[in-house]
Amino acid sequence: MLKKISQRAALGAALAAGVLCTMPAHAGKTLDAIKARGQLVCGVNPSLPGFAAADSQGNWSGLDVDVCKAVAATVLSDASKIKWTPLNASQRFAVLQSGEIDMLSRNTTWTLTRDASLGLHFTGVTYYDGQGFMVPKKSKITSATKLKGATVCVQSGTTTEKNLNDYSKAMKLNMKPVVFDTQEATNKAYFAGRCQAYTTDASGLASVRNKEASNPDDHLILPELISKEPLGPSVRRGDDEFFAIVKWVVFALIEAEEYGITQANVDQMKSSTDPVVQRILGVSEDTGKLLGLDKDWAYRAIKAVGNYGEIFERNVGPKTTLKLPRGANNLWNKGGLMYAPPVR
């Protein structure tokens, strides 16, 4: 008798779990607020070309910017309905915590401390980076191991500052950090010759060199990477529904590249017989209801900004002024680290 009751209980629990797994999601307070105001409020870097920068007309572009546009297209059906909030490194987390922005998409490294103690959730990795060093070519320095005793410009309130100290101690280089509150001040100090080297994420160095140097070829980014810097967007804790939306928008962009769905062919691909493509584009299954959205949620994101590969190539890839190789940011099946759970 007890055995039968246990079996029935197990069956009931399994059925209940199956029902719960397919129940439509409630919208969540953040999504409700976004829809009520008709805008997504997105925190970005004030000026890091390739990742986030505004032109003279106030039009924003960059890899981090495109992530926000994809989310806006998904939840508001319009990638332009965004209020851009430029934030420096020391402001970004407090502004997200306070509710002044809906999401942070600002070349921010995912670390244990930030993930566990700042009241936020990272939603995935949109750029795998590593910290490097830049020096004037005239210095003849070709390796970070030759920076013994060197003064190094670095921005405060970043993982960069801590990594510099760790590397200097581990390699017994006795480097001397010259710390500044803002990226702008750090840039100016380096190019004015106040430091012998500049350290930040390698992608950031490429962006700064291209934008700020009178002659970019006069500056060398050294080959060593001294850290892992997985960069990605984050949202406030306490709203699992919006957390799921931002997370799956990023995953959908990666999945779209893997299955050949582009900004140009997304309409044509709706007639594809591939069951994965059909699911991503909401043709065969309505996965949107599980996110509090409609069936075309991923279609709108891809239509607005293209797939992840298109976003990368357009903003930071080899054909841009940054000329960054795809490298670790290639798809998993092409030797990279970009791997998305299945949209199903």
Q: Give SS3 for 240.
A: helix
Does 97 lie in the same domain as 245?
A: yes
Please check whether residue 19 lies inside any domain of the structure: no
Count how many domains the chain has: 2
Are residues 235 and 329 part of one domain? yes
CB–CB of 128/230 below 8 Å? yes
Q: Is 149 left (phi over 0), alpha (psi -120 to 50) or beta?
A: left
- 103 and 61 inside one domain: yes
**Residue 259 has what pLDDT?**
98
Residue 268 covered by a domain:
yes
Pick from 182, 201, 227: which residue ends a domain? 227
* Beta pairing class for 103-104 and 40-44: parallel
Do both 112 and 188 map to the same domain?
Answer: no
* Residue 66, amino acid: D
pLDDT of residue 157: 84
Same domain, 208 and 263: no
Domain closes at, from 227, 258, 289: 227
Q: Is residue 339 part of a domain?
A: no
Which helix (H) or strand (E) is 177 found in, with range? strand 176-180
328 and 257 in a single domain? The answer is: yes
Q: Which two tokens stand for residue 285?
A: 């299954």
235-246: per-residue pLDDT in tens? Answer: 999 999 999 999
Residue ending a domain, choose from 192, 212, 227: 227
Residue 241 included in any domain = yes
- Domain-embedded: residue 257: yes
Whether residues 160 and 294 fall in one domain: no
Does the residue 14 lie in any domain?
no
CATH of the domain at 191: 3.40.190.10
CA angle 279/282/287 to nearest 5° reads 75
Report how far residue 224's alpha carbon sits from residue 221's, in angstroms, rounded to the nearest whole number. Answer: 9
Domain that holds residue 136: 131-227
- Same structural domain for residues 159 and 221? yes
Q: What is the DSSP string of 19-59?
A: HHHTSPPP--HHHHHHHHHT-EEEEE-SSBTTTBEE-TT--
Segment 12-56, tens digit of pLDDT? 555 444 544 566 666 689 999 999 999 999 999 999 999 999 999
Is 123 domain-assigned?
yes
Q: Say if 13 falls within a structural domain.
A: no
pLDDT at residue 24, as a whole number? 64
**Structure pTM?**
0.89
Query: Splitting the chain (344 residues) into consecutive groups of 10 residues, what average pLDDT does each group show?
Result: 51 49 72 97 96 96 98 98 96 97 97 96 98 97 97 93 96 97 94 97 95 95 96 97 98 98 98 97 96 97 98 97 95 98 96
- Would you say 113 and 73 are in contact if contact means Cβ atoms under 8 Å apart? no
Q: Which residues contact 317 (CB under 8 A, 6 or more apart)?
A: 323, 324, 326
Count of other CB atoms within 10 angstroms of residue 332: 12
